[in-house]
Amino acid sequence: MSNTLAYIEVSQLPEYTSQGKFLQFQIENWRKQLSEAGSLMEQAWKMYQDAVDDKKPRAEIMSLYDHACLFNDISDEAWRELESAKAEYLLLLN
């Protein structure tokens, strides 16, 4: 994450308003979602690669591939939402 917003920690952000508290909650929530999705994505890709290496049936391999792609998409969306919440919070501070 090369975006400067990635370096903002919620503990460094003051709680000015209820909107600010809500955005802090969103930041924490999306961080958690991103972490969980990333872990599941890694597991899914490992399962896919193991199935390919073990020469499992094509249908099983394709199913695992679809699941890995799904977790990849979920992880990407969580990252976008996290960055959006951080940007909203910075706008609120200005």
> Quick count: other Cβ atoms within 10 Å of Cβ 71?
19
CA distance 83 to 89: 10
| Residue 12 scores a pLDDT above 70 | no
Q: Would you state the pLDDT for residue 8?
A: 54
pTM over 0.75: no
Tell me if 5 sits within 8 A of 90, measured CB to CB.
Answer: yes
Residues 65-86: pLDDT tens digits? Answer: 999 999 999 999 999 999 999 9
| Residue 2 scores a pLDDT above 50 | no
Residues 18-61: pLDDT tens digits? Answer: 788 888 899 999 999 999 999 999 999 999 999 999 999 999 99
What single letter denotes the amino acid at residue 73?
D
Coil, strand, or helix at residue 55? coil
CA distance 63 to 52: 12
DSSP class of 16: -
Tokens of 26: 């969103």
